[in-house]
Chain A
Amino acid sequence: MTDPIITPELVKEHGLTPDEYQHIRAILGRDPSYTELGIFSVMWSEHCSYKSTRPLLKQFPTRSSRILVGAGEENAGIIDIGDGLAIAFKMESHNHPSAVEPFQGAATGVGGIIRDIFTMGARPVCAMNSLRFGEITSPESRRLFRGVVAGIAHYGNCFGIPTIAGEVDFDSTYQGNPLVNAFCLGVLRHDQIARGAAKGVGNPVFYVGPATGRDGLAGAAFASQDLTEESAEQQRGAVQVGDPFMEKLVLEACLELLATDAVAGIQDMGAAGLTCSTCETAARAGTGIEIDLSKVPQRAPNMTPYEIMLSESQERMLIIVQRGREAEVQRIFDKWDLPWALIGHVTDTGHMVVKNHGQIVVDIPAKQIADESPVYHREFREPAYLPEVRAFTLRDVPDTQDPVADLKILMACPTIASKNWVYRQYDHMVRNGSTVCPGSDAAVIRIKTDSLPAGGLANVASGDKKSGLREKYLALTVDGNGIYVYLDPYEGSKIAVAEAARNLTCSGAVPLGVTDNLNFGSPLNPEIMFQLRKSIEGLAEACRAFHTPVTGGNVSLYNQSPEGAIDPTPTVGMVGLIEKSEHITTQWFKDDGDVILLLGDLVEKRDPLHGLGGSAYLKRIRDTKNGTPPLCDLEKEKAVQSAARACIQAGLVKSAHDCREGGFAVALAACCISQQIARGTPRLIGAQVELPASSRLDALLFGEAQSRIVVSCAPGNVDPILSRASHMGVTAAIVGRVGGDAFSIKIDARTWSWSVSDLHDLWWNSIARAMQ
């Protein structure tokens, strides 16, 4: 079989520009081979190289005293959580594959992010995800939604990782271009951090995992293009097929192997497969690497070097082993019945050399391909729609005529409704750590001795409490609101971070760090580059304010179909630490007679739209996506969160819940109905709320002003809470009392009332009904 001749057309088909091609020729000092062309095409794809965003991403804060491995250094960042323990976490997108094949696309998204975490030497202990689909009324959206959720469940459940939190949103902007952002977190000791570096000249290079097939060919390049009508047919071969059982074996074998210190370097084969893992490990170590493709296990006959190098077959790892320790490696892989092969060795040439049956097919300087991809400072221009939405006023929007009906509509709308149809399909309790399950502001997971990779599985001591570590708790959330970011990329992105921090605060946690996933349209469109620039500025500003460095993440561009680009959707995964179990707090009201307070201002007077801009109320009730999003004053936000945390840590608070989509009325209603005891057994509790009148009733009830937290407490704790808040410069007021079986709001002489069981039925069952 002879390789195709390299023509300008072939170069273009590989997504490389003529300039980039000349750059390749300059690096090599000759024309590339066909396989080399393929390698450059994936390594320099947007997905792998971040060529349009790298200069912008430098704005993110990436350091704090807790950061052990920073963003971009390795496959995932690592944060110190005290007592010699650390966490590795990251979020990554699988949008394009999920659009084409939702089940496998989402499943392999989960598999890929799990590998990124255990590659760092950490034991993966929980997962979450952020999903976006078109409106649930569309059969196509429901097909994608059903498939994606089933795919995540399939992979995570079998692998044995609790999928403990997430968010799902529905908007016509995502029609045909769903977003699937998968997050994983792992735990390890400081001394267990593994590196993706090909260290030690002469060290053998092992391939572990299933054989390489033709699946997922050049998936990274596919993810760096627009989705088209033909994508489904043409690109199905670019979607990989996942095997969670195999991944579980690979995980356990790798952790057991890492415990032996026979490993010099380790990297998963994710995007760009064998190509990326070989040249990146060599580039990090400043070494070279040489492999022979005839030794790579192959699933299909007659695979070409091009296909083997670009395959994205799943569950494969590249492991660089200390010379002389090969037997240990083989023993462990054999114990787990895993396929493995010795495929090459580390060299001192600085080159990535690939042979096939002894013949050299690739010879590229590793550092140049991994680190010297092109960088583009793309043109940007303020989108034409922005002045229009900024000019929006409430003048032509009539105030609510029927708050009772409007609240019911909002509670049942799929963005606000309970996501139990989703998370009941995920095993969210395996590993015995799920302290707060999905359904509260943030999930909380317990970190205990067996959360660590230590010692492998075989030698967990029996009944040995002495070796146990002091249990810690982590809170996790993922947040993002595409409408806000569309309407104001800077403010909307700040809100994503502020809301994530607020969710963690409500659960009793101190925020530690962030992983972000930037989902945008094509960077070749200057208006989209503007959204991207402003969004990154906003995220960076808010991350600095909360002292939550970005430890890593993912940029997914070209999220557009012929109908246009998606709303810009940065999603923010944030992790916080709770030192003591008594600080763990949930959102639901607890006891009759408790007092309800609001921390923060009921109405943000500085916002001319009173929090209604971009709100769920405007979208669902008034059918408009317009205005400027709520104002996000980071200093005020921090003060409110600090006050809430201080009250929680002082043991004054029984529940805490943030106000977000749907506003104050939705937040209060959720506090009444969101505790689930068991199947078919919610715990419902009423509340009587009384508010001062304001110029607009819709803004008071459904406005989405930021920096607001609803707390409840025993009557005796009201004064200490009010005085703490006042001391910290935060507005706080009594707004009502918990009890009874109705939720009511009284303003002046008018009272609106809802049966909590009606609200619960609308909120709990609406997605299941839509999916029937």
Chain B
Amino acid sequence: MNFAVLQFPGSNCDQDCVHVLANVLGQPTQLLWHKEESLGNADAVIVPGGFSYGDYLRTGAIARFSPVLRAVREFAAAGGLVLGICNGFQILCEAGLLPGALVRNRSLQFRCEHVHLGAVHYDSPFTRAIPPGKLMRIPVAHGEGCYFADAETLARMKANGQVLWQYVNAQGHPVSEANPNGSVENIAGICNEKRNVAGLMPHPERASEDILGSADGRHILSSMIQTP
């Protein structure tokens, strides 16, 4: 499966994604510069973490206008798989490819720590390889990861099964102590209605090798690789 990892000038998890997809999971992977207008032969797109264009204004506010994102919009509209991680999730929300928004952490501080992540739905190209009930240990690292959507949107998303991941405690429950940023209903990641575009704040690529203390993130990335 051919992966394209977008590269904005301020991306800083782009190499990490390439490393895991190519060297750990053995998938042909290429970086795609933000000025590119075509995704080439990509079967799946990763929008990685970082600070796209510095993000001094608002995370992802400028990235949504980049040439490569126009190509991603077309790709997604045609059913292509797109996963946004951290800043990538913020960009996909800003671009309207995913519902809701990510605002400042309720603590008003950047937060970098491992969290426990639970899958809510397993019937998506981003969760299908996760063993049912699996408690995944994955790091977060963000200042603006508090997910918000209005009540109506949230109700629609839940009815459609679009909430894919939640922050949970060691027993698997989405309690407030497990929530690192104040996200509504402990939401860590979601997908669109067509289930081909997803975003999450935790970094599966930072938890894909035993040497880094957890390989649970591979369940998420491997879900994309499984042929449907």
Show the binding face of A for B, using Cβ within 8 Å: 150, 153, 157-160, 243-246, 248-249, 252, 336-337, 420, 423-432, 434-435, 437, 446, 448, 450, 457-458, 460-465, 468, 581, 676-681
The chain A residue sitting closest to B169, CB to CB, is A680
Task: Indicate if the CB atoms of B169 and A245 lie closer than 8 Å.
Answer: no
Task: Indicate if the CB atoms of A677 and B112 lie closer than 8 Å.
Answer: no
B54 at interface (Cβ–Cβ under 8 A)?
yes
B116 at interface (Cβ–Cβ under 8 A)?
yes
Which of A426, A437, A460, A677 is B18 in contact with, Cβ under 8 Å?
Answer: A460
Q: Assuming A678-B113, A678-B114, is B10 touching A435 (CB within 8 A)?
A: no
B153 at interface (Cβ–Cβ under 8 A)?
no
* Cα of A156 to Cα of B141 in the assembled complex, Å: 12
Contact with A along B2-29 (1 / 0, CB 8 A): 0000010110111110111011001111
* Cα of A158 to Cα of B144 in the assembled complex, Å: 13
- 4 nearest A-B pairs in the assembled complex, by CB-CB distance: A160-B12, A245-B54, A432-B16, A678-B114
Chain A residues with CB under 8 A of B49:
430
Chain B residues with CB under 8 A of A426:
110, 112
* Cα of A458 to Cα of B7 in the assembled complex, Å: 9
Chain A residues with CB under 8 A of B51:
158, 160, 244-245, 248
Task: Indicate if the CB atoms of B110 and A430 lie closer than 8 Å.
Answer: no
Task: Indicate if the CB atoms of A432 and B31 lie closer than 8 Å.
Answer: no
Chain A residues with CB under 8 A of B50:
160
Q: Which of B69-77, B191-199, B203-211 contacts A (4 or more CB under 8 A)?
A: B203-211
- Distance (whole angstroms) from the CB of B63 to the closest CB of chain A: 12
B53 at interface (Cβ–Cβ under 8 A)?
yes
Q: Assuming A425-B110, A681-B116, is B54 touching A159 (CB within 8 A)?
A: no
Task: Indicate if the CB atoms of B115 and A460 lie closer than 8 Å.
Answer: no
Q: Which of B9, B18, B31 has the most CB of A within 10 A?
A: B9
Chain B residues with CB under 8 A of A248:
9-10, 12, 51
Q: Assuming A427-B110, A450-B15, is B31 touching A460 (CB within 8 A)?
A: yes
Chain B residues with CB under 8 A of A461:
22
Task: Indicate if the CB atoms of A681 and B16 lie closer than 8 Å.
Answer: no
Q: List 14 A-B contacts (CB under 8 A).
A: A245-B9, A424-B112, A426-B110, A431-B16, A432-B212, A457-B15, A458-B33, A462-B18, A463-B29, A464-B22, A678-B113, A678-B170, A679-B116, A679-B177
- Distance (whole angstroms) from the CB of A160 to the closest CB of chain B: 3
Known: A158-B12, A424-B113, A427-B110. 11 other contacts (CB 8 A): A150-B109, A153-B110, A157-B110, A245-B53, A246-B54, A337-B9, A427-B112, A431-B15, A432-B205, A457-B7, A463-B23
Q: Assuming A157-B110, A157-B143, is B56 touching A245 (CB within 8 A)?
A: yes
* Cα of A437 to Cα of B54 in the assembled complex, Å: 26
Q: Assuming A245-B10, A245-B56, A450-B19, is B114 touching A677 (CB within 8 A)?
A: yes
* Cα of A458 to Cα of B9 in the assembled complex, Å: 12
- Distance (whole angstroms) from the CB of A524 to the closest CB of chain B: 41
- Distance (whole angstroms) from the CB of B119 to the closest CB of chain A: 16
Task: Indicate if the CB atoms of B54 and A158 lie closer than 8 Å.
Answer: yes
Q: Which of A252, A336, A461, A680 has the most CB of B within 10 A?
A: A680
B111 at interface (Cβ–Cβ under 8 A)?
yes
The chain A residue sitting closest to B13, CB to CB, is A430
- Distance (whole angstroms) from the CB of B28 to the closest CB of chain A: 5
Show the binding face of B for A, using Cβ within 8 Å: 7, 9-10, 12-16, 18-20, 22-23, 26-31, 33, 49-51, 53-56, 109-116, 137, 139, 141, 143, 167, 169-170, 177-178, 180, 203, 205-206, 209, 211-213
The chain A residue sitting closest to B210, CB to CB, is A581
- Distance (whole angstroms) from the CB of A342 to the closest CB of chain B: 23
* Cα of A432 to Cα of B178 in the assembled complex, Å: 24
Task: Indicate if the CB atoms of A427 and B170 lie closer than 8 Å.
Answer: no
- Distance (whole angstroms) from the CB of A697 to the closest CB of chain B: 38
- Distance (whole angstroms) from the CB of A509 to the closest CB of chain B: 16
User: Per DSSP, are chain A's interface residues mostly helix, strand or loop, or mixed?
Assistant: loop
Q: Which of A153, A423, A461, A462 has the most CB of B within 10 A?
A: A462
Chain B residues with CB under 8 A of A460:
15, 18, 22, 31
Which of A160, A249, A434 is B212 in contact with, Cβ under 8 Å?
Answer: A434
Which of A249, A337, A425, A680 is B112 in contact with, Cβ under 8 Å?
Answer: A425
Task: Indicate if the CB atoms of A679 and B31 lie closer than 8 Å.
Answer: no
* Cα of A597 to Cα of B49 in the assembled complex, Å: 44
How many cross-chain pairs have Cβ atoms below 8 Å apart between A and B? 141
Task: Indicate if the CB atoms of A681 and B170 lie closer than 8 Å.
Answer: yes
The chain A residue sitting closest to B26, CB to CB, is A463
Which of B14, B111, B178 is A424 in contact with, Cβ under 8 Å?
Answer: B111
* Cα of A468 to Cα of B23 in the assembled complex, Å: 9
* Cα of A448 to Cα of B18 in the assembled complex, Å: 13
Chain A residues with CB under 8 A of B115:
678-679
Chain A residues with CB under 8 A of B109:
150, 153, 424-425
Task: Indicate if the CB atoms of A679 and B28 lie closer than 8 Å.
Answer: no
Q: Assuming A337-B9, A446-B211, is B141 touching A427 (CB within 8 A)?
A: yes
* Cα of A40 to Cα of B141 in the assembled complex, Å: 45
The chain B residue sitting closest to A157, CB to CB, is B110
The chain A residue sitting closest to B35, CB to CB, is A335
Q: Assuming A430-B13, A435-B211, is B113 touching A448 (CB within 8 A)?
A: no
Chain B residues with CB under 8 A of A448:
19
The chain B residue sitting closest to A158, CB to CB, is B51
Q: Assuming A677-B137, A677-B170, is B211 touching A581 (CB within 8 A)?
A: yes
The chain B residue sitting closest to A243, CB to CB, is B54
Task: Indicate if the CB atoms of B31 and A680 lie closer than 8 Å.
Answer: no
- Distance (whole angstroms) from the CB of B87 to the closest CB of chain A: 10
Task: Indicate if the CB atoms of B20 and A680 lie closer than 8 Å.
Answer: no
- Distance (whole angstroms) from the CB of B220 to the closest CB of chain A: 15
Chain B residues with CB under 8 A of A245:
9-10, 51, 53-56
Task: Indicate if the CB atoms of A458 and B170 lie closer than 8 Å.
Answer: no
Chain B residues with CB under 8 A of A435:
211-213
Task: Indicate if the CB atoms of A157 and B141 lie closer than 8 Å.
Answer: yes
The chain A residue sitting closest to B30, CB to CB, is A462
* Cα of A153 to Cα of B109 in the assembled complex, Å: 9
Chain B residues with CB under 8 A of A446:
211-212
Chain A residues with CB under 8 A of B167:
679
* Cα of A286 to Cα of B10 in the assembled complex, Å: 38
* Cα of A163 to Cα of B54 in the assembled complex, Å: 19
* Cα of A243 to Cα of B56 in the assembled complex, Å: 10
Which of B9, B20, B137 is A249 in contact with, Cβ under 8 Å?
Answer: B9
Task: Indicate if the CB atoms of A463 and B112 lie closer than 8 Å.
Answer: no
* Cα of A627 to Cα of B37 in the assembled complex, Å: 70
Chain A residues with CB under 8 A of B26:
463
* Cα of A248 to Cα of B55 in the assembled complex, Å: 13
Task: Indicate if the CB atoms of B141 and A429 lie closer than 8 Å.
Answer: yes
* Cα of A424 to Cα of B19 in the assembled complex, Å: 24
Chain B residues with CB under 8 A of A429:
112, 139, 141, 203, 206, 212
Chain A residues with CB under 8 A of B206:
429-430, 432
* Cα of A252 to Cα of B203 in the assembled complex, Å: 23
- Distance (whole angstroms) from the CB of B196 to the closest CB of chain A: 23
* Cα of A246 to Cα of B170 in the assembled complex, Å: 40
Q: Which of B12, B29, B112 has the most CB of A within 10 A?
A: B112
Task: Indicate if the CB atoms of A462 and B28 lie closer than 8 Å.
Answer: yes
Chain B residues with CB under 8 A of A423:
112
Which of B14, B180, B205, B213 is A457 in contact with, Cβ under 8 Å?
Answer: B14
Chain B residues with CB under 8 A of A427:
110, 112, 141
The chain B residue sitting closest to A451, CB to CB, is B15
- Distance (whole angstroms) from the CB of B56 to the closest CB of chain A: 7
Task: Indicate if the CB atoms of B15 and A678 lie closer than 8 Å.
Answer: no
- Distance (whole angstroms) from the CB of B70 to the closest CB of chain A: 18
- Distance (whole angstroms) from the CB of A166 to the closest CB of chain B: 14
- Distance (whole angstroms) from the CB of B22 to the closest CB of chain A: 4
Task: Indicate if the CB atoms of A679 and B22 lie closer than 8 Å.
Answer: no
* Cα of A252 to Cα of B8 in the assembled complex, Å: 12
Chain A residues with CB under 8 A of B20:
432
* Cα of A117 to Cα of B201 in the assembled complex, Å: 31
The chain A residue sitting closest to B114, CB to CB, is A678
Which of A437, A462, A581 is B22 in contact with, Cβ under 8 Å?
Answer: A462
* Cα of A221 to Cα of B156 in the assembled complex, Å: 62
